[in-house]
Amino acid sequence: MEEELDFSDLSDDQVVDLVTALCAEAARRGAATDAAARASILDEAERIRIARDAMAEESGRLRYAERSRVAEAARAHVRATMAGKPLLTPAEIVEIEATARAMEEDAMRAEARERVAQAAREDVRRRDEAAAEAQRRQAAERAAAEARAVVAAKQAREMALLREIAAIVDQDPAEISVIDANTRRGRRIMINLGQERYTHDHLADYSVTTGEISTKRDLIRRKPDLAGVLAGYAASGAPDRHLVGADYPWSAGT
């Protein structure tokens, strides 16, 4: 991006809400966008963390150097005083003591700032974890909803087929079953009464390979209708399917 966006007018809560909304939008747009957004956030967070650590390290190094200088000056003064040759004047001693107190106060303030910064980082971490968990939960809910929709659509198609066949053979859809299988005589689709898969007594027996169909005597006139329905079913999927009408949630009158 050529020019950085300015978010200085936003409150902390508004910034957090904006990040959360953008993460949700990235997740909605697909896995690639979601992954790129997460990587960008992690890269920026890492850059900020490195900068803060470097600043804290440099500040600590400077404070340590100054403390070492003051301490060495004080030790030298003590040694010289004990030898009867003081190095520092009373004014210089007062200055050193004032410097030491100021450095101690600076260290205390730095520690307080670091505690505040650590608390802020911890709060951000908790918010990031909560946002990530919310995204995972939303993704799981979307996946579950999509899976339920797929199952419901498949069930609706199968129920529609059973209902159509039942109307042709004049049976309750809950009382019939449809078997689509490869046999020694080729691929066949058989309509049976009841749930039994392996039986030689079929209401109808359709050969997908030849298009021929055999039926019970009272269904001979419905052969064209059954053949058309079963040909469409054959085209909708691969063999090795067994639809049992009793397994579906039929309501009264269906």
Domain ranges within the chain, ordered by starting residue: 12-151, 170-247
Predicted pLDDT of residue 235: 93
Cα distances (Å, whole numbers) of residue 96 to 72, 92, 107: 11, 6, 16
Predicted pLDDT of residue 43: 62
Predicted pLDDT of residue 1: 41
In 3D, which of 16, 21, 9 has the Cα closest to residue 125? Answer: 16
Predicted pLDDT of residue 140: 86
- Percent of the chain whose predicted confidence (pLDDT) is above 70: 80
Predicted pLDDT of residue 83: 57
Predicted pLDDT of residue 81: 66
CB atoms near residue 180 (< 10 Å): 21
Tell me the pTM. 0.52
Predicted pLDDT of residue 2: 44
**Dihedral angle computed from the Cα positions of residues 159, 164, 169 and 173, in that order, rounded to the nearest 10 degrees:** 20
Helix axes 31-82, 12-29, angle to 10 degrees: 140
Predicted pLDDT of residue 89: 67
Question: Which residues in the chain show pLDDT less than 70?
Answer: 1-8, 15-16, 37-39, 41-47, 50-51, 71, 74-75, 77-89, 92-93, 96, 252-254
Predicted pLDDT of residue 252: 62
